[in-house]
Amino acid sequence: MIFVIIGVIGVLNGMNSLATKQIEIRATSVRVSDDALMVDLSDGRTVSVPLAWYPRLLHGTTAERGDHQLIGEGLGIHWPQLDEDISVEGILAGRRSHESKDSFEQWLASRPHAT
């Protein structure tokens, strides 16, 4: 879960104070091109990460990449045909897929068609 802390410094009776508010960042929409995953966020930003960070998406077909759903009210994205889940927190933290090479190769070999 990602929270952005917004700080406001104010002066009250000669003393500085810092008020903070946490805003939970969620995905509002998702697009996948041949080389990037683009996610629109609830705070107005759009982030883009290389598709190479997520090998299952990279090796998926256009139809498989397009078949996704927001999960946890936008805290993550799920691709049922690719058995892939990516969190908004992971994207914002710059985390690539942590799937092992062996696991990915088994998944790739089990696919009914070459991509």
Domains of the chain: 27-110 (3.30.2020.40)
Residue 10 has pLDDT above 70, yes or no: no
Helix, strand, coil share of the chain (percent; to 5): 25, 40, 30
Q: Which residues contact 74 (CB under 8 A, 6 or more apart)?
A: 26, 27, 28, 42, 88
Note the pTM of the prediction, 2 decimals: 0.78
What is residue 112's predicted lDDT score, i.e. its pLDDT? 81
**For the ranges 5-14, 19-28, 29-38, the one whose mean pLDDT is highest:** 29-38
What is residue 13's predicted lDDT score, i.e. its pLDDT? 58
Lowest mean pLDDT among 21-30, 68-77, 102-111: 21-30
Both tokens of 76, joined, read 């993550």
Distance CA 104, CA 92 (A): 23
What is residue 95's predicted lDDT score, i.e. its pLDDT? 95
Residue 16 has pLDDT above 90, yes or no: no
At residue 93's C-alpha, the angle toward residues 75 and 68, to 5°, is: 40
Mean of per-residue pLDDT scores for the chain: 87
Which residues are paired to 41 by β-bridges? Answer: 27
Q: What is the mean pLDDT of residues 8-37?
A: 76
